[in-house]
Amino acid sequence: MIKKIVLGIVIYKKKILIVRRKVKEGNLFWQFPGGEIESNETEEQAVIRELKEETGLSCKVNKLLGKRVHPHTNREMLYFACNFISGEILISDEDLSEAKWVNIENLNDYFTTDLYEPVKVYINGNK
């Protein structure tokens, strides 16, 4: 069985949280923080854990934005809108080279593919 991937879309003060992988996944370097759901956790617990592990930030789930099979990686993706609670960016995940807040208007400078439409609508609503 293919494991589901959860991604956290975190917007705070007109900035959005993104991470850079050390190794490209398909043609993707920059992406939203996230990862696989572990067998003992819910989807919501997984996205909170992944955000903490990958960026050092504490967040809470707001809502599920949507699910899809990613066109470039063929993995089932679940996109969650999350609220930033506290913390400073600290990368402790060995697969990441960078994590940062970027201005929402500059997101297209980092992403090489079109955003999933429900994510795009959510982001555009927070500009």
How many Å apart are CA 20 and CA 34, to the nearest integer?
A: 11
Q: Which residues have a catalytic role annotated?
A: 98
Q: What is the pLDDT of residue 22?
A: 84
Q: How far apart are CA 99 and CA 81, in angstroms?
A: 18
CATH code of residue 36: 3.90.79.10
Tokens 């050092």 belong to which residue? 56
Structure confidence at residue 16 (pLDDT): 97
Range of the domain at 49: 5-124
What pLDDT is recorded for position 96? Answer: 87
Is residue 73 over pLDDT 90?
no
- Nearest Cα neighbor of 105 from 6, 9, 16, 42 is 16
Query: What's residue 37's pLDDT?
Result: 94
Mean pLDDT of the chain: 91
Task: Tell me what the mean pLDDT of segment 17-33 comes to.
Answer: 83
Q: What is the mean pLDDT of residues 66-84?
A: 91
Residues 63, 80 contacting (CB under 8 angstroms): yes
Number of domain units in the chain: 1
